[in-house]
């Protein structure tokens, strides 16, 4: 079944029998401009699914790949679970799941370092490149969870900054801490692993890991 048809059915179902989930609340909300139309609900639901799922899957997979390439940091995470908080911030800088934003248009002439970008120009914002800018970050190609200056672009910024950032951070912190704690002697079977063919959303298609056991 196509995503649109599936979501349309779910929206109708939630309108008739609302539960305490987000879609029910969106479907029954009486906002200041009145209830959302079916098209508005469909595009919002699709945005949340795409923006909220593949991105987080990639953050966790990019995270495990980076930890297996930095076994000293993996060991630290086992010993200090609270390291998960700064570690996930550094991951969002170092291996951002959203590499670029290809849909910006200038509303006026903008000057950037002496270069004028004319009004109406189409911009691709390459967040991943900004996150590795040596004029902004010391040793940008080094993965360092102790990095103090960690204001990255991984979750966007300004009026469109990520709506789901708290959830994404929490999911990645919990998943990576648990993987570190439970997998005994994990090691990569493919390095580099095969990647999804997607320039915007970066992450491995699969990450094969061998281990000696799984702790309870
Ligand atoms: C690791 C996971 C995630 C990453 C890396 C990520 C990244 C981003 C980025 C870079 C933007 C800015 C887009 C722009 O400026 O056009 C954004 C916006 C957004 N994100 Fe996330 N996101 C993640 C998880 C989530 C989750 C879990 C949700 C929802 C449950 C979510 C919902 C949204 C929405 C609705 C927007 C649009 C905000 C707006 O336009 O005002 N994201 N995200």
Q: pLDDT tens digits, residue range 88-120? A: 999 999 999 999 999 899 999 999 999 999 999
Cα separation values, 1 from 24, 46, 71, 101, 182, Å: 21, 14, 43, 29, 37
C-alpha 149/C-alpha 157 separation (Å) is: 16
In a domain, 187, yes or no: yes
H helix runs in 3-121, sequence order: 3-16, 22-28, 38-52, 54-69, 71-79, 84-94
212 CA distance to ligand 1 centroid (A)?
A: 36
In a domain, 172, yes or no: yes
Is the CB–ligand 1 distance for residue 51 below 6 Å? yes
Is the CB–ligand 1 distance for residue 35 below 6 Å? no
In a domain, 151, yes or no: yes
| Stretches in the chain below the pLDDT threshold 70 | none
Question: Cβ(206)–Cβ(191) under 8 Å?
Answer: no
Closest C-alpha residue for ligand 1 atom 24: 52
Predicted pLDDT at 92: 98
In a domain, 50, yes or no: yes
Predicted pLDDT at 26: 92
Q: CATH no. for residue 112?
A: 1.10.630.10
Would you call the peptide bond into 192 cis, given omega within 30 degrees of 0 as the criterion?
Answer: yes
Q: Is 87 exposed, middle or buried (0-12, 13-18, 19+ CB in 10 A)?
A: buried
Predicted pLDDT at 107: 95
What is the number of domains present in the chain? Answer: 1
Tokens encoding 79: 């010993």
In a domain, 31, yes or no: no
Predicted pLDDT at 147: 96
Return the SS3 of 80.
coil
Among all chains, which residue has been given the structure tokens 């063919």?
197
In terms of phi and psi (left: phi > 0; alpha: psi -120 to 50; beta: otherwise), the region of 121 is beta
Predicted pLDDT at 50: 85
Is the CB–ligand 1 distance for residue 68 below 6 Å? no
In a domain, 97, yes or no: yes
Return the SS3 of 102.
strand
Quote the domain boundaries for residue 162.
2-20+38-214
C-alpha 177/C-alpha 145 separation (Å) is: 14
Query: How long, in residues, is the chain?
Result: 216
Predicted pLDDT at 207: 98
In a domain, 112, yes or no: yes
In a domain, 194, yes or no: yes
Predicted pLDDT at 171: 98
């Amino acid at each position: 079944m196509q995503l649109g048809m599936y979501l349309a059915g779910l929206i109708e179902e939630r309108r008739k029998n609302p539960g305490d989930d987000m879609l029910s609340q969106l479907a029954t909300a009486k906002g200041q401009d009145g209830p959302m139309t079916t098209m508005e609900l469909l595009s919002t639901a699709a945005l949340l699914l795409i923006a909220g799922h593949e991105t987080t899957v990639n953050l966790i997979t990019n995270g495990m790949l980076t930890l297996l390439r930095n076994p000293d940091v993996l060991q630290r995470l086992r010993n200090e679970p609270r390291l998960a908080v700064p570690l996930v911030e550094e991951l969002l800088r170092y291996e951002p799941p959203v590499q670029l934003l290809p849909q910006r248009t200038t509303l006026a002439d903008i000057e950037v370092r002496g270069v004028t970008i004319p009004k109406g120009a189409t911009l691709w914002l390459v967040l991943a490149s900004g996150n590795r800018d040596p004029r902004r970050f010391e040793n940008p190609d080094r993965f360092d969870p102790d990095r103090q200056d960690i204001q990255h672009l991984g979750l966007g910024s300004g009026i469109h900054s990520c709506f789901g950032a708290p959830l994404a951070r929490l999911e990645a912190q919990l998943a990576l801490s648990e993987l570190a704690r439970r997998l005994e002697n994990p090691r990569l079977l493919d390095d580099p692993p095969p990647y999804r063919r997607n320039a915007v959303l970066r992450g491995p298609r699969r990450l094969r890991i061998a281990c000696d056991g799984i702790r309870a």
